[in-house]
Structure formats: structure tokens, C-alpha cells
Structure 1
Amino acid sequence: MDTPSNDRPTPETAAAAQEALTALSVHTMDTEALDTLADSEVLVPVPDDAAEPDASDPSIVALPVLEESGGEQTVPVFTSEPAMAELLPFVSRYRVVPLGALASQWPSAGLSLAIDAGSPHGLTLDSDGVRTLLARPSA
């Protein structure tokens, strides 16, 4: 990964986010878990086709969009490097982004967010769910 070690979420932070995801799999409107998740940082893979200036500019986050079999578009993000490597072992670059800030800028329609997809605690939200449940004002 090309991200410095001090830019990745700590194991404790990643564990708290993963526990929140697990809690949400049981109680979908657990407000404490939603707050924990929204306050966490996630790893956003940098798309292979992102131009180098965009990939290195801290004010720009290029979202990797995966198209599902039914045509639905999803952005995968991860709570830790191991969670990302499990699903996307080929990813060589990523950005660390506060999930609440990412959610507050989320497009109005047509784009889902998958957090730790493929894991037992994974969560996928449609665009309304992202903005409604996770958006926090940018700092």
C-alpha cells in the first residue's frame, strides 16, 4: 500500500467499526452503532484508472465503482487493510477517509456503499441510507 502507516485506522478503531457493523446486522437502527460507524475512518481503494494528480491530491477522493450483475453500482470501502485484502487483494493504493464526511457528500441517487463487503459483518446501504444514516458535517 502506498499510504503511510500513520494514515491507516488503528486496530482499535477498525475493531470498533467492525463491532458496530456486527451490531447493525442484528439491529439495523442501532443509533449507537450508527454513530460509531459514522465517526470511523474507512479505506477507499484508489481506482486503477485514477490519474496520478487525482490519486495524490488530498482534497480529491476518486470513488471505485463496481457494477453488480443487475446493473447496480456500488462503492466498496473497508474498515481495515485485512478486510480490504480479503475481497480486493490486488488493490495497491487507498485513501483513508472519515465515513461521515464521505457520506455527507454522497450522490443523491443510484450509488450504493458497501462497507467490508464479503465479510460476516459487511453492510450495504443505498444512497438514501448512506446520507440519512451516516452523514456527518465535514470538519
Structure 2
Amino acid sequence: METPENRQTDTPARQALDALVDNHEDTMALNTLAGSEVLVPVPDDAGEEEATDPGTVALPVLEQPGGEPMVPVFTSEPAMAELLPFVGRYRLVPLGALAAQWPADDLSLTIDAGSAHPLTLTSEGVRTLLARP
């Protein structure tokens, strides 16, 4: 049965993540994901200009167990609230555009961390799998 909560969280991006669980090379799912907008939490220390400038995105970097840096992004507000309930600001960013400018260091990207089917990609994986022309 469809509920208001399901309608909010069952986005095309979320469906693509679920499809990638069964087939990591599902081109249609990767294209859907790359073409989707994701919610990028605005770091608490970002100023108003950084939070609203359309030419730049301040990335929230969290430390994973083991110390590796990771940027969390989300497919919906409920998915974000599940892991980061106190986030006050976020930006909608096309995932493919974010991936096209992803740094070359060891910064990974996790989509819907805390969900049943999160997707974590290395820096190289972000650029090669999600960056679309």
C-alpha cells in the first residue's frame, strides 16, 4: 500500500539504488542515478555565500569507521533525516554534475547512508560511473 512516506522516499534515484543491489553494472540504473538530483547537506561551517553560490558546492565530509573521508548525499529528505536529523540546510545538486567535478583524492561518496541499500563509491568510481556528458 502506498503511503505519503513511500511517495517521498520511492524516487527514481532510490529505485536505481535498489536495482544496483542486484546488478552493479545496470547501465539504466547508473544513468538514472547520474541524472538525478541529490540532497547535499550544507556543512555547519559554510557561510551563506558558499551555501547559495550556484557555481560551487560546499561538501560535507564525514569520517567513516577506519578514518576514511566520505561525503553523504541523499535521494530524499526522509532518507537524509534518518541519518542526519539535525541538518538545517541542504542543496539539490544533479549527481552527474557533482561527479564530473569530484576531487581526485581519496574522498568517497555515499548515497543514502543508513538506508537498506546505500551505495558507496570511491573517488574514481564516482568520476567513472556517475559523471555523464
TM-score by length of 1: 0.87
Give the Cα separation in 1 of the matches to 2:122 and 2:75: 18
Moved over 4 A (4+): 11-14
Deviation at 1:136, TM superposition (A): 1.8
Q: Is the counterpart of residue 16 in structure 1 residue 12 in structure 2? A: yes
Q: CA 1:44 to 1:87, structure 2 compared with 1: closer, same or farther past 3 Å? A: same
Q: 1:48 aligns to what SS in structure 2?
A: coil
* Cα distance in structure 2, aligned partners of 1:127 and 1:43: 19
> What are the equivalent positions in structure 2 for 1:1-139 lying under 5 Å apart?
15-137=11-133
Deviations 1:73-99, CA, capped at 9 Å, x for gaps: 000000010100011000000000000
Distance 2:16 2:8 in 1: 12
Q: Is the 8 A contact 1:113 1:124 kept in 2?
A: yes
What's the C-alpha RMSD, in Å, of the aligned pairs?
Answer: 1.5
Unaligned runs of 5+ in 1: 1-10
**1:130 to 1:14, Cα distance in 2 relative to 1, 3 A:** farther
Confirm or deny: 8 A CA contact 2:39 2:76 kept in the other structure: yes
Please state whether the residue corresponding to 1:85 is helix, strand or coil: helix
Aligned length: 127
Give structure 2 stretches of 5+ with no counterpart.
1-6
Q: Distance in 1 between matches of 2:113 and 2:9?
A: 18
Q: Percent identity?
A: 71
Q: 1:133 to 1:120 in 2, by over 3 A?
A: same
